[in-house]
Amino acid sequence: MENKIQGQIIRPFSPTIGRYKLPEQTVTILNDHIDNILKDENKIEELYHGKELAGEIKYELKLTKDFIDKYLYELLKNFVFNFIKSSLDKEIKSFDLKSSWAVCQFESDYNPIHWHDGHVSGVMYTKMPTDVGSSYKEENKNGRIAFIHGATQFLVSSVYDVKPEIGDLFIFPSYMMHTVYPFFSDQERRSISFNAFIDKEIASY
């Protein structure tokens, strides 16, 4: 008599990554704001943030506190609240958005493996190239983001790479290493990152 196998796959050891969709209005507001900065060389120089970051990228621009408070703070607070609630079934009371910056990535630009400061970090995508260039591989990973954790072993993968779409928001623990592969076209890949601190007792849970 054939035995029927019953069971489930349990993954208790992997850090959580949240994938959400931004409101279309937010994508437009972010793009309009950054487009205006890129037209002004003085603004580019004033808001240049690349010295603080890991990327080999020309245009990395810090968002001002006024802009963050007006357009991003409440939005990101709500997303992070949902992320923590869904992940840990806990409700945050503290949300300190420490910094946010735009990454305007062009051909051959890349972000090497790095991690962020804070408890929770995220990246929003507002422009993506339709052409990322050719690849020698069957699966073209140009322009993708790859999250890295642990070691690759039997039944375990240490890398999760994904092709972002316009409007995507990824939220993840700040300690999680990640990298962005270069791409090869004349189009822009634009993202906005942030770092935040939440309740210490939840972050150390």
* pLDDT over 70 percentage in the chain: 94
What does the alpha-carbon distance between residue 28 and residue 37 come to, in Å, rounded to a whole number?
A: 14
Q: Which residues contact 203 (CB under 8 A, 6 or more apart)?
A: 119, 120, 197
pLDDT band at 92 (very low <50, low <70, confident <90, very high): very high
Q: Indicate the number of domains in the chain.
A: 1
Task: Provide the whole-model pTM.
Answer: 0.91
Q: What is the spatial distance between Cα 103 and Cα 50, in angstroms, rounded to a whole number?
A: 9
* pLDDT value, residue 114: 95
Task: Provide mean pLDDT across the span 171-191.
Answer: 94
- Under the banding of pLDDT at 50, 70 and 90, the label for residue 71 is very high
pLDDT-derived band at 146 (thresholds 50, 70, 90) equals: very high
- Return all residues near 143 (Cβ < 8 A) that are at least 6 apart: 128, 129, 132, 163, 180, 181, 182, 183, 189
Residue 50 lies in domain: 18-203
Confidence of residue 138 (pLDDT cuts 50, 70, 90): confident
Asked whether residue 40 is assigned to any structural domain, the reply reads: yes
Please name every residue paired with 42 in a beta bridge, in sequence order, or none if there are none. Answer: none
Mean pLDDT of the 63-73 span: 98
With respect to residue 78, please indicate whether it lies within any of the assigned structural domains: yes
Residue 62 lies in a domain: yes
CB 122 within 8 A of CB 78: no
- Residue 4's pLDDT is what? 65
Mean pLDDT of the 89-108 span: 96
Of 125, 123, 205, 127, nearest in space to 172 by CA = 123
pLDDT given at position 129? 93
The sign of the torsion formed by the CA atoms of 46, 50, 56, 59 equals negative
Is the model more confident about 190 or about 204?
A: 190
Q: What are the φ and ψ backbone dihedral angles of 158, each rounded to 5 degrees?
A: -100, -5
> What local confidence, expressed as pLDDT, does residue 3 receive?
58
CA gap 98, 197 in Å, rounded: 7
Under the banding of pLDDT at 50, 70 and 90, the label for residue 24 is: very high
The CATH code of the domain that includes 165 is 2.60.120.620
Mean pLDDT of the chain: 91
Q: Is residue 139 part of a domain?
A: yes
Query: Does any domain span residue 1?
Result: no
Say if 3 falls within a structural domain: no
Q: Looking at the domain assignment, is residue 10 inside a domain?
A: no
pLDDT of residue 188: 96
> What is the dihedral angle through the alpha carbons of 104, 108, 194, 12, rounded to the nearest 10 degrees?
150
And the tokens for 169?
């928001």
- Has residue 149 been placed in a domain? yes
Give me the helices (H) in 8-134, please: 24-38, 41-47, 65-67, 73-88
